Structure 1
Amino acid sequence: MITIYTLDKDRLVAQAAKARDPLPDGTVWIDLLHPTREEDLQTEEWTKAAIPTHEDMVEIEESSRFYSEAGSQYLTASILYAGENNHHSIAPISFILAGKFLVTVRYSEPRAFTLYTSRATKSGNGLVSENCSGVTILLGIIEAVTDRIADILEGVASEIDHNSAMIFRRSEKDRPMTTKNFRDSLTRIGGQGAFLSKIRESTAGVSRLLVYMTAITDQNSYKKETRAWIKSLERDTQSLSTYVDFLSNKITFLLDTVVGLISIEQNAIIKIFSVAAVAFMPPTLVASIYGMNFQFMPELSQVWGYPMALGLMVASAVIPLLIFKKKGWL
């Protein structure tokens, strides 16, 4: 699908386009979502810039993601998006600066794009001016991406704090954590750690894109405001990366804590069985002795023989328990 955005004073106007349609006047942004080969060829005809395929976009080499070709600048970054069942993932998005045009090629639908277009298509948005270019649109999208990542990180931080409270703020009245509680905690914390790794990859891609943008603006006569905007976005992504590292350390700490608590619970269970085995060993010995079928066991014929045997078994069980309790082993 091709969506063309034309400039109308201080806002963008979106309209759908098809292959073989003429390019409207005032076009500054061509957005390709799941493009067909025919749509790729039509965009190439409009912009005189080659459109990368999906296979080209997933290449991880730096030279395959940031390069210049035939006067056009190609920048690809992995952007976070929500897929089916609100499952977050990352997907590469290519930004092509072809003269005054910005061309975006994407096979995902990040919410940042929706947030940017909903704002940029309104008058007085502060993002679009009468003389804006593809670079301005690109930086506006990147700003929306960083804002979206910041919002997501706030939610992740809240979930981490909630999990931390469930582990550390349990009172004596609360029931001990069960195996299911431990399993659920490990699943939640592990999922948050995997999610943070995706956010880290996305912020790293955006950061590399901005570094390349800095090189472009230094080599060309871009406005000072544009270069300052790029520097501001670089600081934002750096702060996001630092915050992601901080949250990752908290995740690691929580994982270590849960694993440690599981070990403590396992040791407590083993200790109970060990104490029970030691406590019942002397009574078992007494019972075994008096269960022997020897002919000469004088106390067996006495009236006090049976109570004595029971008393020995009870005493041999209670005395070790009292010793263990005095030493603090119970």
Structure 2
Amino acid sequence: MRRIEAPAPLLVVTAIVSVQVGNAIARDLFDDLGAAGVTFVRLVLAAVILAAVTRPDVRSWSRAAWWSAALLGVVMAAMNLIFYQALREVPLGTAVTVEFLGPLLLSVVQTRRLLDLLWAGLAAAGVLLLGLDSGGSAPLGGLLLAFLAGLCWGTYIVLSARLGSLVPGTGGLAVSLAVGSLVAAPFGAAGATEVLHTPSLLAAAVAVALFASVLSYGLEINALRRIPTRVFGILMSLEPAAAAVAGLLILHQRLGAAEIVALALVTLASAGVTLARRDPPRDEAKAVAEPV
């Protein structure tokens, strides 16, 4: 009997929804665990879950594979710590809009087309609009944190491609998540202890780990085995809009007119860059994934 597989674009869209739902749930935990505490718990739980599922054969890894996994873990920790700090100050949709500049800049650097510079300028105009909008709910400090997290996101894509070429499957991610949890421990371990005493907080933390890390990454990596990265990139342009919807439905965060226009400009720029980009070899395509 032939197994029925879900269409790859549906997997990507589901992954986008999953990670933004996870981020929205995480934002609700900040008052109890702190932003760093949520980051630490998310990384620990995701590492444990993925390690149990994939059981990576680390004894066969090369030194290059270990270094790649470790570097990716450090970047993942930095990306999540900084992004969750940004979420304390700005709405989810706004934070993801600015953060998305990281992957967008990476695409511009990789393609080196004049038209891409125009797309990048369009995205920059959208973010500048956020900074100049005095009536919005996006303080400059939060926007800068989101942009820094975006730079980490772009670095994450490069490092995940490297690790994916050295370690098959998702076992490498389990090790990277473990390294990331160690890096985040000094910042968030103390605040995270509250989950040991409150079952409802632990359940929410598990949901964050599953939605924002385990499920989303698994869906993406499977989709990338079946569709070109160009198509994947176009679909990922829905990320800021998905974040805005998740922020509205779960956190009751409403974006102003300027913030909505900025979101649209960044999304349009991302789609334009990815439409013009030539697809890399399939082996590289399998390794590219969204940040956690």
TM over 0.5: no
Give the number of the structure whose alpha-carbon radius of gyration is greater: 1
TM score, norm. by length of structure 2: 0.29
Q: TM-score, normalised by structure 1?
A: 0.26
Relative to its length, the structure with more helix (as a share) is: 2
